[in-house]
Amino acid sequence: MTPGAPTAPQLAARARMWRQKALYFLLFGGMACAWPWLPLLSEKRYSLGSAAVSRLAAARTLTGALVAPLWGAAADATGWHPRLHALSLTTSALVRLALALAPRACGEATLLALVIASEALGAAATCLADGSTNAALERAGMPLGAYGRQRLWGAIGWGWVFAPLSGAIIADLGEETRWVATFGLHVGVIFVTAALALTLDHTTPAARRSAMLKRKRSDDELAAFGGARGAPAAPSSSARRMARVLRHPRVALTYAAFFLAASFMGMVETYLFLYLDMLGGTTLLMGLALTFTCLSEVAIFFYAERIMDALGNDCSITFVFVCFAARFGLYGVLPVLGSPWIVLPVQLLHGITFGLFYAVGQRFTHTAAPAGLEATCQGLLNGCVSGGMFTGALLLGWPFAWDPQRTWLFFSCLAVFGG
């Protein structure tokens, strides 16, 4: 065999990578039929104001921040990763359908309970998907930077297929059927995703640990944490092993940057559609806005490994904040530019503000994870992202109701300082 050539098990693992691509396509395609439309559903069907929408968004993301690490820890403790993944997907989808079926006269408290329940049940969806993908990359002998080439299929499912489709459904159907139709589509796609999740392997062969450790040590920026991932486990509790990693200043500062970037994402996710609606944008425009976010997201995920290798972690994160500053600033001047449709080219910045940010987070987290606690660390990353989005939803609520345009411009300046 040629030195460095893939082994037979690695070739077999690479042949099965299509399942990871299909998982992301279905998972985020299904989520595109529910997640981005929740603020509009709350406002249009249930007549909630921006403050109430802010509270719902904050509750959803806070729940994810608190519960996602628990799902990851439960999966690592039991070894039931596929079964817990499928359980999380199916139960949360059914509760989200209840959001579209609730009586129009129901109050904010009822919607809040449904939102919290759906997020608590569904908090494992992304972290266990990412954990299975990172494990599959290790079994295939592929670099962790290749995560982006699997994850880009989620952007295709989200922005190229199901976001425009759900936007068209909402635009074309009547008020009584539009929400049931798109959230019903969400349930159908997520149930197929759950069936696929049951077939996935989350294990990393012990024989791969030493080789992966050497590969991680070749990356100067992550060498300090590779030992935590590949070294033999110390005779201490999982909590203590996690605490040792999180106490490292480099890890703590990097996760603080992830938290701040996630707070900016929470602002976009919660308020962009409400802002476009204020400017006279249609649901078709909103669906296309999601499509445009994914045009660049696919490209960035595809080249994420090269970008991260060229810039390094620190410069990659700084680049993310610079693009957030530009994105928010352009949102702020949309009324001056005269048409809400100008938002479409602005959405191309999403490839950096989300795609590159998330790729860096995945590589950093999986490298820092102690052996045997990969799903726990994935849960912590998703909890950090959800906590940041919770903060972003709260931060933008009151100033957005007061003056949306100036609010975007203010946070554009804040993103500059964040970088």
pLDDT tens figures, 237-280: 556 666 666 666 677 777 888 888 888 888 888 788 888 888 89
Q: How confident is the model at residue 94 (pLDDT cuts 50, 70, 90)?
A: very high
Query: Which stretches of 32-123 are DSSP H helices?
Result: 38-44, 50-78, 81-101, 108-122
Residue 47 — left, alpha, or beta (φ > 0 → left; ψ -120 to 50 → alpha)? left
Q: Classify each residue of 342-361 as buried b or exposed e, where b means 16 or more C-beta atoms within 10 Å of its C-beta.
A: ebbebbbbbbbbbbbbbbbb
Q: Which residue has the tokens 């990393």?
A: 204
- What tens digit of pLDDT does each residue of 299-355 get? 898 888 889 889 887 888 899 999 999 999 999 999 998 889 999 999 999 989 988
Average pLDDT over residues 38-44: 86
At 83 the pLDDT is 96
Tokens representing 179 are 């929400």
Name the residue among 56, 82, 46, 104 with its Cα closest to residue 375: 82
Name the residue among 161, 131, 120, 216 with its Cα closest to residue 26: 161
Q: Which residues does 186 contact at the CB level (< 8 Å), separation at least 6?
A: 30, 31, 33, 34, 93, 96, 97, 166
- What tens digit of pLDDT does each residue of 371-392 get? 666 677 777 777 778 788 878 8
At 198 the pLDDT is 96
Distance from C-alpha of 385 to C-alpha of 69, rounded to nearest angstrom: 11
At 397 the pLDDT is 64
Tokens representing 124 are 């494992």
State the average pLDDT for the chain. 82
Highest mean pLDDT among 10-14, 180-184, 213-217, 393-397: 180-184
At 239 the pLDDT is 63
At 238 the pLDDT is 59
At 184 the pLDDT is 95
For residue 343, what is the enclosing H or E element? helix 343-346
Q: Report the interhelical angle of 357-368 vs 124-139 (nearest 10°).
A: 70
Which CA distances in Å does 409 have to 260, 270, 279, 403, 412?
A: 17, 17, 16, 10, 5
Average pLDDT over residues 19-37: 93
Q: Which residue has the higher pLDDT, 150 or 395?
A: 150
At 211 the pLDDT is 42
Average pLDDT over residues 109-131: 92
| pLDDT of residue 159 exceeding 70 | yes
At 143 the pLDDT is 79
pTM as predicted: 0.77
Are 89 and 190 within 8 A, CB to CB? yes
Q: Which residue has the higher pLDDT, 296 or 327?
A: 327
Q: How confident is the model at residue 232 (pLDDT cuts 50, 70, 90)?
A: very low
At 14 the pLDDT is 85
- What tens digit of pLDDT does each residue of 187-209 get? 999 999 999 999 998 887 654 44
Q: Which residues does 353 contact at the CB level (< 8 Å), separation at least 6?
A: 261, 264, 265, 268, 320, 323, 324, 327
Q: Which residue has the higher pLDDT, 118 or 9?
A: 118
| pLDDT of residue 222 exceeding 50 | no
State the Cα angle at 55 between 324 and 356, rounded to 5°. Answer: 25
Q: Report the interhelical angle of 50-78 vs 108-122 (nearest 10°).
A: 30
At 210 the pLDDT is 43
At 330 the pLDDT is 94
| pLDDT of residue 216 exceeding 50 | no
Q: Which amino acid is at 265?
A: M
For residue 164, what is the enclosing H or E element? helix 163-172
Tokens representing 297 are 């997201």
Name the residue among 258, 260, 259, 252 with its Cα closest to residue 224: 252
Q: Which residue has the tokens 């080219």?
A: 345
Distance from C-alpha of 183 to C-alpha of 410, rounded to nearest angstrom: 35
Percentage with pLDDT > 70 across the chain: 84
Are 154 and 25 within 8 A, CB to CB? yes
Q: How confident is the model at residue 223 (pLDDT cuts 50, 70, 90)?
A: very low
At 220 the pLDDT is 40
| pLDDT of residue 229 exceeding 50 | no
Read out DSSP for 213-281?
Answer: HHHHHTSTTTHHHHHHHHSPPPSS-HHHHHHHHHTSHHHHHHHHHHHHHHHHHHHHHHHHHHHHHHTT-
Average pLDDT over residues 283-301: 84
| pLDDT of residue 2 exceeding 60 | no
Average pLDDT over residues 354-366: 83
